[in-house]
Structure 1
Amino acid sequence: MSDAPSPLHAVPAQGGSHRLRQRAAKELRSITVIVVYLWALLALFDLYRTIILDEAHVSLQEQGFAFINALVLGKVMFIAEALNVGTRFRDRALIWSILYGAFTFALVLMIFHVIEHVAVGALHGQHVAESIQVYERGGWKGLVARALIMFVALIPFFGFREVSRAIGPKTLHRLLFERGAKFPGPDA
C-alpha cells in the first residue's frame, strides 16, 4: 500500500486559484468592452431613430432599453466568441478576419435582435411580421439597413480585436495609450 495521497484528496496547486481569478478578470474585462461598445452603438441607433422620426424628446426608457439590450447581446456575442464563431479566416490576412467577424456577428446580433422583438411583440399579441414592422418603422428594409449599419459599426471593434490578437494586447494598449509609443517592428 502506498503512502501517497489519493487524487481525490490532492490539494490544488496554489497558483490554480490565482490563474482562475486572472481568467475571470480577463473575461470580465472582455465582456465589459463588448457591452459598452454595443450599448454605445444601440443608444446611438435609438437616438438617431428619435431624430429621424422627429420626436421632440429623447426617451430615457429607450436609452435604458438600449443598455439592457447591450447586456443581452453582449452575452450572446461573448458566448459566440467562446464557441469560435467568426474565426473562419483567422489564418488569412487580418482584413478578411476582421470583415468576416463583423459580418458574422452582425448576423448573430440581428437574429437575436429579431427574436427579441418578436418575443416582445408576442407578449403584446402581435404577429411576427407586425412586431418587426412596428419596431423597425420600415419593415424588412429597416431591418436590412440596421444589419448593414451594424456590420459597418462592428468593423472597428473586430479591427481592434484582430490587431490585438496579432501584435499582443499589451503592445496595442501601449501603442494606443502611451505617449510617443512606437511599434517594435522593423519600421519602428
Structure 2
Amino acid sequence: MRRIGQRLYEELKRIATIFVYLWIVFGVLVLHESLVLSRHGINYDFYGFAFINSWILAKVMLIAESLDVRPRWQGRPLIYPIAVRAVGFAMLLVCAYAIEETVIGLWRGRTLAASVPAIGGGGLRGLVVITVIMAVALVPYFAFRELGRVLGRDRLRALMVTGAVGPSSNSTGSGGA
C-alpha cells in the first residue's frame, strides 16, 4: 500500500506541474488575446478557458509522457528530444483541443461542421501558427524535464533555486524536473 501511495503521490505531483505550467502559458495567451481585442473595442474576459483547458490537456500530456521514446535520443544533444517533444506535444495538444471542442459542440446539438473549432482564426495557416506558438511555449517545459533527467532533479532544483552546485549525480532517476 505504501508503494501505491508513493506512486500516486508522484503522479499527482507530475500532473500538478504540467497543469500549472499550461495554466500559466494559456493564461498569458488569453491575457494577450484580451489586450489585442481591447484595442478594437472588444471586451474579452474568458480566463476560465485557461484553467479548464490546462486541466484537460495536462491529463492528455501525462498519458502521452508515459509513452517514453527516450532510448531513441540516447547520446544525442538535448536539443533533439526537447525540440521533437515540444513540436509533438504541441500537435497533440492542438488536436486534443479540437477534438474536445468538437465533442462539446456535438453534445450541445450542433452539426459536425459547426462543432469543429476555427483554431487560430481557421484554416491551415491558423492551425500551423497555433501549433508553432504552442511548440515554442513548451520548449522550457521539456528543457527542464530533460535537464532534470540528465543532471538529476535535486541538482537542477538546487541550481535554479539556490544557485548551489552540488556533486554531479543522477540518483533521482528519469522522472524529470
Judge same fold: TM > 0.5, yes or no. yes
Q: Matched residues in 1 for 2:105 and 2:66: separation? A: 30
Residue in 2 that maps onto 1:154: 138
Partner of 1:49: 33
Whether the 8 Å contact between 1:31 and 1:75 is mirrored in structure 2 is yes
Q: Which residue number in structure 2 is paired with residue 100 of structure 1?
A: 84
Q: 1:127 to 1:18 in 2, by over 3 A?
A: closer
Aligned match of 1:168: 152
Q: Does 1:69 align with 2:53?
A: yes
Unaligned runs of 5+ in 2: 169-177
**Cα 1:88–1:111, aligned 2, differ >3 Å: closer, same or farther?**
farther
CA–CA distance in structure 2, aligned partners of residues 148 and 165 of structure 1: 25
What residue in structure 2 maps to residue 184 of structure 1? Answer: 167
Q: Which residue identity is paired with 1:114?
A: A
Other-structure match for 2:18: 34
* 1:132 corresponding residue in structure 2: 117
Count of aligned pairs between the two proteins: 164
TM-score when scaled to structure 1?
0.77
Q: Percent identity?
A: 37
**1:142 to 2:134 alignment:** no
CA offset digits 1:117-145 (Å, max 9, x no partner): 22233335254377423x64344322221
> For each residue in 1:145-188, what CA deviation from the matched residue of structure 2 results, as whole angstroms up to 9, or x when unmatched?
1110000010110000000001111111111112x402535xxx
Counterpart for residue 104 of structure 2: 120
Q: Does structure 1 residue 90 correspond to structure 2 residue 73?
A: yes
> Does the 8 A contact of 1:87 with 1:101 survive in 2?
no
Cα distance, 1:43–1:77 mapped onto 2, change above 3 Å: same
| CA contact 1:88–1:97 (8 Å) conserved in 2 | no
Residues 48-79 of structure 1 deviation map (CA, whole Å, 9 limit, x = unaligned): 222222255451xx211221111110000000
Distance 1:50 1:33 in 2: 26
Gaps (5+ residues) in structure 1?
1-16
- Counterpart Cα distance in 1 of 2:111 and 2:31: 25
Distance 1:88 1:41, change over 3 A: farther
In the alignment, what sits opposite 2:172?
A: none
Letter in 1 for 2:15: I
RMSD: 2.2
The 1:132/1:58 distance shift into structure 2, 3 A limit, reads closer
CA distance in 1, matches of 2:23, 2:88: 19
